[in-house]
Amino acid sequence: MSNPSRRSCFLLGLVWTAILFACTGATCMPRKVIPDLQPPAVFSTPPSVEQLTEVLNRSNQIQSLQSNSVSIRVNNQVSVNANLTWLRPSNFRMNATVAGVKVVDMGSNSELFWMTIREGLTPVMYFARHSEFENLVDRPILPVSPLWLVEALGVVTLDPYQMIQAPVMRPDGRMELTTTVPSPIGNFQRILVVEPMYGITRQVFLKDPVGRQVAVANQSKHEYYSAVQTSLPHQIQIQLSDNHGIEHNLEVTIGSYVVNGMSNDPGTLFAFPNTYGFESRNLVELSQGNPKAVTPMPIAPPQTFPHASYRGVPWDNSLSR
């Protein structure tokens, strides 16, 4: 690739342009603050790692999240309303429609992930198979898989056996927990910033095997879900940085969640979209220098649920010792 930084900025910029296309006037849905939903204090004194682990790992009770009151704001531009669905272990879908026109379709299933945009009059679908993407050292377009968004949304677990240092108490009273996470290209580092009294995460940092910070999520406006004994953030500010220093900011606001109450057919919702009329571009081939990388893909491959979680990636919630 002759100029990966410019190509990275251009291609990911197209995604942001698609989000903002025809969105003038879109606004965030208002949220009501209900006292019963506020995170309860679970500790009166600084907790041990074991105590924090028990509280954070209550998120394992969350099998699915669904919301039709999502607002997305990219690089401090106009917001657009969207729908979001996640189902363990690797099924994700977020799409937005404005004035009857679908401006965003980002999804994942057990095999691959995709995002569709329009380049002028040409609809384009970018995609990659998880197994191939995770083996990429040079990621000039996306530094992480879209599945990392699940941790950014607050579905976080902690394995004390993967901690590489003792917890660090910060001057602001929050606690930092640093874990190592194996991947095919080396060990990533994940830093959780936790509010000890409430047992909730406030920040998630991800560093690649050479120590570069590639993703950050700042989490706020947590609400408590008693059925799963877990608090989830409803406002998330995300910063992604690729291998060439190109940064992109994404703000996600969730009005409300349905937890463990899927209302859609998973086999349909997370199926690879129909590619008829789309130009399909493989992100793996693009990263290897092919400017077009057009690859035919099967239409809606058959799905079997549930799938076993694939291992060795920074956003895989399964524990390994």
- Sorted by sequence, the CB contacts under 8 Å of residue 66 that are 6+ apart come out as 84, 85, 86, 257, 258, 261, 262, 263, 264
Residues 106-124: tens digit of each pLDDT: 899 999 999 876 656 677 8
CATH of 4-287, picked from 3.40.1190.20, 3.40.50.720, 2.20.25.90, 2.50.20.10, is 2.50.20.10
Range of weakest confidence among 12-16, 33-37, 76-80, 184-188: 12-16
Residues 168-216: tens digit of each pLDDT: 999 999 999 999 999 999 999 999 999 999 999 999 999 999 999 999 9
- Structure-token pair, residue 233: 């953030």
pTM attached to this predicted model: 0.78
CA distance 305 to 266: 8
pLDDT of 36 strictly over 90: no
* DSSP β-ladder status, 79-87 and 101-108: unpaired
Residues 217-250: tens digit of each pLDDT: 999 999 999 999 999 999 999 999 877 777 888 8
Residues 46-69: tens digit of each pLDDT: 999 999 999 999 999 999 999 999
How does residue 298 score in pLDDT terms, banded at 50, 70 and 90? very low
